[in-house]
Amino acid sequence: MDDLIIIRDLIKYFPLQKGFLDRLFAKEKGFVRAVDNVSFTIKKGEVLGLVGESGCGKTTTGRLILRLLEPTSGDILYNEKSVFSFTKKEMEKMREKMQIVFQDPYASLSPRMSIGKAIEHPLVIHNSHDKAERKEICLRIMEKVGLEPAEFLYKKYPHQLSGGQRQRVVIARALVTNPEFVVADEPIAMADVSVRALILELMAQLKEEFDLTYLYITHDLATCKYICDRVAIMYLGKIVEMGSLEEVFKNPIHPYTATLLEAVPVPDPKYRRTEPIPKGEIPSPINPPPGCSFHPRCHYAVSTCSQEEPDLKELRQEHWVACPIRS
Ligand SMILES: Nc1ncnc2c1ncn2[C@@H]1O[C@H](COP(=O)(O)OP(=O)(O)O)[C@@H](O)[C@H]1O
Ligand SMILES: [Mg+2]
């Protein structure tokens, strides 16, 4: 498979917004190290899961890939060409070909825009097709995502729909420009438990039908098994483990990944945890711990873990891990 997207040494530091007193006494300017030197590729037609606790930099990574944010440094290649060298025309094309599905469908839909108008909106922005054609495309995509009867729902407003339907609207809107790559940022986090599996199933089905490539962002590693081909585990702005879904689920190597897998519920009352829960809370990305940033929470940490920052190493075939003691 060809690489659709290649991320190289991507960094995004946000300057710290400080209060007056903090500014007065601060010795140096602080930064939030949201994405801290991340490299990975996404192959054409695959679903890569980007997984980690809230605040670890998943959304920032997704927004950087779509150029909704500019990185501090690093490069992003789309179809083997750096997106930072794109002409205006190439950039416009890229905006059509790359879309995002946000976590909160209520927040990402205008309450005053009917469902039909919301789904058609990207076509209006990209100035493609006339009014009648736009409606036709919209109704067709509504049927594809299960918003039926489409003609009836076309005139409805977001508050008149169920949560699951609203999420389908957001998916339809992302697909209306016929993209090839979609960042799905926690697409099921706000949906009822009962419809989560249905939405993932729909996404998997749409992927086949429209030949899509996904970056699937989630804090819940368990949901990856429904849709992902590969997973990348993020912790405090860095990727700590990456490999095929099967490989990482069967042979997790990083202690952090193992604890995320332990959080997956097992319907057996006799089951006992084998991995201890990480100690304490996730540290701040403003002053991440030195060395391996997971070491203060890691039950296996030794004194050297706080000294050297581990690189991602290929420990098994296509299975990459950054852990000072296991790699
Ligand atoms: N625009 C911003 N300005 C300053 N800090 C930000 C901004 N966006 C995100 N951050 C910070 O960057 C870190 C990563 O955030 P985010 O990418 O949203 O994580 P996730 O999606 O994994 O929850 C967090 O500490 C967050 O507070
Ligand atoms: Mg997020």
Q: What residue owns the CA closest to ligand 1's atom 1?
A: 14
Going by CA atoms, what residue is nearest to atom 24 of ligand 1? Answer: 55
Residue 277 pLDDT exceeds 80: no
pLDDT tens digits along 125-179: 888 789 999 999 999 999 999 999 999 999 999 999 988 899 999 999 999 999 9
Ligand 1 pocket test target in 14, 65, 69, 221 with most atoms within 8 Å of CB? 14
> At the topology level of CATH, where does 3-228 sit?
Rossmann fold (3.40.50)
- Nearest residue by C-alpha to atom 8 in ligand 1: 60
Residues 24-44 pLDDT 10s:
666 667 899 999 999 999 999
pLDDT in tens, 49-84: 999 999 999 999 999 999 999 999 999 999 999 999
b/e burial code for range 272-281 (CB count within 10 A of at least 16 → b): eeebeebeee
Q: Which residues line ligand 1 (CB under 6 A)?
A: 14, 32, 34, 52, 54-60, 285
- pLDDT of amino acid 134: 95
- The per-residue pLDDT for 281 is 85
- Local structure of residue 304 (DSSP, 8 states): G
> 272 C-alpha vs ligand 1 centroid, how far in Å?
35
CA of residue 174 to ligand 2 center, whole Å: 18
Distance of CA 78 to CAs 181, 183, 191, Å? 10, 14, 31
Return mean pLDDT, the chain: 92
Q: What are phi and psi of 63, to 5 degrees?
A: -70, -35
Distance 107 CA to ligand 1 centre (A): 18
pLDDT of amino acid 291: 95
Confidence band for 190, pLDDT divided at 50, 70 and 90: confident
Residue nearest (by alpha carbon) to ligand 1 atom 20: 55
The Cα angle at residue 229 between residues 259 and 7, in degrees rounded to 5: 90
> What kind and span of H or E run contains 164?
helix 163-175
Nearest ligand (C-alpha, residue 51): 1
Tokens representing 194 are 């009962």
Tens of pLDDT, residue by residue over 239-259, are 999 999 999 999 999 999 998
Distance 197 CA to ligand 1 centre (A): 27
Q: How far is the CA of 57 from the centre of ligand 1 (A)?
A: 6
**CA–CA separation, 102 and 63 (whole Å):** 11
In sequence order, the 6+-apart residues with CB closer than 8 A to the CB of 125 are none
